[in-house]
Amino acid sequence: MFDRSIQQLTQKPLSFIGKFLLKVFNPNQITFIGFFFGIMMCFFIFIQSYFLAILFLLLNRFCDGLDGVMARQTSPTPLGAYLDIIFDFVIYAAFILVFSLQNEGNLLTGAFLLFTYICTGTTFLTQAIIQPQLDFSQQQDENQKDIPKSFIYASGLIEGSETILFMVLCLLLPKAFPMIGFLFGILCLITAIARVIIFYQKYKFK
């Protein structure tokens, strides 16, 4: 919901940092580094070092924004887009898995969250696949100033920014994971349903 607004604010500082890092790293290497930070976050969750987990979560999300900026400063590749999407979904799912394994009381919430993640993920990726075939990109408002992406980005109530906020709240209040997770899962489900309804209404006569 807030992704586009936040991206407009972060592009300039990330571009500045990216120009220097390109002298040492390529965008795909930053993607792999970010994935490593995400794995470290999961490790610290498992040993209940939540503040360190927050640190590595922020590093992971920083790299996630940085690799795309660096790619646009050179030339985006299909491999980069592929790795970026795959690693994001793996880390999001691993976050839920680690919380579920850590405490039996989190299992039901974890299962529900993974179900809603699949719902939001499939509506997101399916629209990214089908929408270009309907020439959606050519029908967009010429005045819209979205950040260029390697795929069509399906917006919704729950996007990346809201997911990061959810993860930070869980790490700050780990005992409240069942309640926070259930509420977040409901919002994810609403997002998935809304995407299907909006897409159907827009293209039912195509």
Side-chain-side CA neighbours of residue 179 (13 Å): 5
Q: Could you report the average pLDDT of every consecutive run of 10 residues in the chain (206 residues)?
A: 62 80 89 96 96 96 90 84 91 95 92 94 84 57 49 64 93 96 95 88 73
* Dist. CA 72–CA 80, nearest whole Å: 11
Which of 90, 46, 54, 85 has the alpha carbon at shortest distance from 166?
Answer: 54
**pTM of the entire predicted model:** 0.81
* Dist. CA 34–CA 26, nearest whole Å: 13
Domain locations along the chain: 3-203
- Report the topology of domain 3-203: Four Helix Bundle (Hemerythrin (Met), subunit A) (1.20.120)
Spatial neighbors of 153 by CB under 8 A, at least 6 apart, are 3, 128, 146
